[in-house]
Amino acid sequence: MAEAEGSVRFDVPLYSVSDAARHIDVPRSTFDTWVRGYSRRPEGRSPVIGAPVVTFIPDHRGPTVPFVGLAEGFVLAAFREAGVPLQRIRPAITRLQEELGIAHVLASRSLYTDGAEVLYDYAEASGDTPEGKSARQLVVVRSNQRLFQEVVDSYLRRIDFAADGWARAIHLPQYRAADVVVDPERSFGIPIFARGAARVEVVLGRFKAGESVETLSEEFGVPADELFDALRVHTDVAA
């Protein structure tokens, strides 16, 4: 599966590290490690080096993360939510890339359709090593099928894939009632309400300026319960 040439999903840096981390609800320091890698030197031990695992465009002033990098980070956030440390899952990601033959495997439909099988096989081959145990945490077996465990599956179901097999939009998980989507083809990848297509930041700004939820709902075509949900996420207003 080749990259879509000239696609805004791959070629255009849309997000700063801070914005990307905020959109997928992970600490900035965590996303920065995913983007830049890390080098740690424990006293009396050999250095521990982790390569970058999220696509970014280096030496670019302003935003550095394209949508494909945000999608990769979103899947890593799922692994993190499942309690799997990145340093222990890195070898499994490499195995996924090798077995599925895809560089940006975390942003591909193939991860959703075939990834659990590959991770299960990797875990079995790795035995009781920390890496094998971590990979095993991501997969369950039901009716003789290898599936991603529930929390990972719930994240992957929030990704829409284009006909070319690559992620094209993400429905953000921190919202309960609101369907807030990140789509690089709409509003430059800034989070918008799926219904009404209003930018979340614009609606919140208007609310903070004193406009009522009822007025904003009518003007932007966003149901009131979704607006209250967004307010719950971004302000002290209770849903």
Residues 70, 110, single domain; the answer is yes
By C-alpha distance, which of 120, 128, 126 is closest to 148?
120
Mean pLDDT along residues 43-49:
68
69 domain residue, yes or no? yes
Residues 41, 118, single domain; the answer is yes
By C-alpha distance, which of 207, 204, 173, 200 is closest to 186?
200
Which of 143, 173, 203 marks a domain boundary?
173
Q: How far is CA 23 from CA 124, 143, 186, 216, 237, in A?
A: 34, 36, 15, 22, 19
Residue type for position 166? W
Residues 105, 161, single domain; the answer is yes
Residues 87, 139, single domain; the answer is yes
Residue 192 contacts residue 200 (beta carbons within 8 Å): yes
Which of 117, 148, 173 marks a domain boundary?
173
47 domain residue, yes or no? yes
For 65, half-sphere exposure in the C-beta direction (CA atoms, 13 angstrom radius) is 28
Residues 160, 65, single domain; the answer is yes
Residues 137, 184, single domain; the answer is no
49 domain residue, yes or no? yes
Beta bridge partners of 188: none
In whole angstroms, how large is the CA radius of gyration of the chain?
19
Residues 74, 190, single domain; the answer is no
Q: Quick one: tokens of 173?
A: 């998980």
Residues 133, 184, single domain; the answer is no
Residue 31 contacts residue 20 (beta carbons within 8 Å): yes
Q: How many domains does the chain have?
A: 2
146 domain residue, yes or no? yes
pLDDT tens by residue, 103-161: 899 999 999 999 999 999 999 999 999 999 999 999 999 988 999 999 999 999 999 99
Which of 173, 190, 215 marks a domain boundary?
173
Residue type for position 49? I
Residue 38 has a pLDDT of 75
The pTM score is 0.90
Q: Quick one: tokens of 162?
A: 């284009």
56 domain residue, yes or no? yes
Q: CATH number for the domain including 196? A: 1.10.10
Question: What is the spatial distance between Cα 203 and Cα 230, in angstroms, rounded to a whole number?
Answer: 9
24 domain residue, yes or no? yes
Q: How many helices (H) and strands (E) does the chain have?
A: 11, 8
pLDDT tens by residue, 162-216: 999 999 999 999 999 999 999 999 999 999 999 999 999 999 999 999 999 999 9
Residues 47, 161, single domain; the answer is yes
218 domain residue, yes or no? yes
What phi and psi, each to the nearest 5 degrees, are found at residue 14? Answer: -105, -25
Residues 103, 133, single domain; the answer is yes
Cβ density class 126-164: b for 16+ within 10 Å, e for less: beeeebbebbbbbbbeeeeebbbbeebbebbebbebeee
Residues 160, 75, single domain; the answer is yes
Domain interval for residue 181: 174-239
Residues 138, 179, single domain; the answer is no
